[in-house]
Structure 1
């Protein structure tokens, strides 16, 4: 999970994001590594746009799906 395009998250927000992903993985142990990478990418994107986790909804997912990714993924 620490490839260049999927680098570790930093700081308190990063710790919260990691906890969120870890909790989801605990509830869904059969997820692929690709799904985990996509979740981390989404959280990094949301944090870069200062979207609080509590505000992540279908609208935010739609914006993420339309963004022009420049991180090499």
Structure 2
């Protein structure tokens, strides 16, 4: 049942709506880490976040679309 709801959510929602629920805890964690770890975190954490963001984009957002496209083409 969860998969059916998730598929409908992915099909019906925009890119922003899909990413938004993941952003606020991430922003809180980044701010907290920067406060705790100090100056080093100001350049290390953004680099890590960019790498994670690219991976998230290709795995979570591009993935379902590519799979549906393949199914539609019958491959």
Higher relative contact order (CA 8 A, sep 6+): 1
Structure with the higher fraction of residues in helix conformation: 2
Higher Rg of the two aligned structures = 2
Please report the TM-score for the alignment, with normalisation by the length of structure 1.
0.40
Please report the TM-score for the alignment, with normalisation by the length of structure 2.
0.39
